[in-house]
Amino acid sequence: MKKVALLIDGGYLRSLARGARYPFVPDSIEAIARACVADGEELFRVLYYDCAPFTGTTRLPVSGTSHQFHGNDAWLNDLAARELFAVRRGVLKFRGWKPKSIPIAAAHLEDKDFIPDFE
């Protein structure tokens, strides 16, 4: 039986799951990984690359009031504790605010006209 190592880009998988309205939780991630193995193959290891959600405080772009981002990485810890998974963590950085639409049509901008920019 051929052993298979699977590499998963968590950010890309999250994007696909949202588009398909598929739950993005450790159980579904594991199910997807197992579904990638063909007959006659054995899943040896899953290398999962992702980062925890951003947690921190920043200022809103127009009003300047404080805004708190809350993230929880419990799901990532759960995935890392699974038998075949090795989780490699990156760092999500806040890079400022960007307009929701370009060109900017509003003469009077408000905080709701911007979205956070993460990298």
Full residue range of the structural domain in which residue 46 is found? 2-118
Neighbouring C-alpha atoms within 13 Å toward the C-beta of 22:
13
Query: Residue 23 has what pLDDT?
Result: 93
Segment 9-38 shows an average pLDDT of 94
pLDDT tens, residue by residue, 31-90: 999 999 999 999 999 999 999 999 999 999 999 999 999 989 999 999 999 999 999 999
Which residue from 83, 2, 85, 84 is spatially nearest to 38, judged by alpha carbons?
2
∠ CA 51-14-61 to the nearest 5 degrees? 65
- Residues whose CB is less than 8 angstroms from the CB of residue 106 and which lie 6 or more positions away in sequence, other chains included: 113
Predicted TM-score (pTM) of this structure: 0.80
**How many domains is the chain built from?**
1
Helix or strand holding residue 44 (H, E): strand 41-51
Q: 102 falls in which pLDDT band (50, 70, 90)? A: confident
pLDDT for res 106:
65
Question: What is the structure's pLDDT at 103?
Answer: 76
Per-residue pLDDT at 105 exceeds 90 = no
